[in-house]
Amino acid sequence: MDNDKALDERWMREALKEAKKAFLEGEVPVGAVIVSQGEIIARGHNQVELLQDATAHAEMITLGAAAAAMGNWRLAEMTLYCTLEPCVMCAGAMLLSRLPRLVWGCPDLRHGANGSWVDIFTKKHPMHTLEITSGILASECAALMREFFHVRREQDS
């Protein structure tokens, strides 16, 4: 796994493409990709409204797609890039998937599980560690969220 800022930005741009798909579908614009050995093996974006499933977050969909692609639920040697700080559910799924690295874009003040609301990663896990890099392309990720909710408020008024 490479922890290079330019590579992190490259892959986060791919996650942003997924977030834009969610935006166009009327979903909260969160996107994710999972990278293994320099290649994207899974992509996903929020589908909560489409599926009427509160668990259909971009990260959950992408984790499932990566497991299916690899034929293994253990996602060793992979990095998940997501445009928004993961919630508790998604963070837990990352730990359960044995994902070694997470890179996220902008904070989620309402649900963020890496310090914005709570931080489940402060307690050392007995068997697994997750390296976390935050704030990659944060302004672009946050701008997309602001635009989505601005449009949503205009539609509701």
In the 8-state DSSP scheme, what is residue 42? E
Q: Give pLDDT, residue 129.
A: 87
Q: At 108, which amino acid appears?
A: D
Burial of 95 by CB count in 10 Å (0-12 exposed, 13-18 middle, 19+ buried)?
A: middle
Residue 2: the pLDDT is: 52
Q: Return the exposure string of 120-157: e unless at least 16 CB atoms fall within 10 Å of the residue's CB, then b.
A: bbeeeeeeeebebebebbbebbeebbeebeeeeeeeee
Q: State how far the Cα of 52 lies from the Cα of 96, in Å rounded to an integer.
A: 24
pLDDT in tens, the chain (157 residues): 456 999 999 999 999 999 999 999 999 999 999 999 999 999 999 999 999 999 999 999 999 999 999 999 999 999 999 999 999 999 999 999 999 999 999 999 999 999 999 999 988 888 888 999 999 999 999 999 999 999 888 888 7
Contacts of 13 (CB under 8 A, 6+ apart): 137
How far, in Å, are 25, 35, 48 from residue 136 at the CA level? 24, 15, 24
pLDDT value of position 124: 84
Q: CA–CA separation, 83 vs 131, rounded Å? A: 16
E strands, 65-155, in order:
78-84, 101-106, 131-134
Residues carrying an active site annotation: 59
- Contact between 105 and 133 (Cβ < 8 Å): no
Q: What is residue 123's predicted lDDT score, i.e. its pLDDT?
A: 85
Nearest Cα residue to 102 out of 120, 82, 87: 82
- Give me the pLDDT at residue 74, please: 96
Task: Kindly report the pTM of this predicted structure.
Answer: 0.94
Q: For residues 154 and 157, what is the distance between their CA atoms, to the nearest angstrom?
A: 5
pLDDT at 152: 83
d(CA 126, CA 110): 28
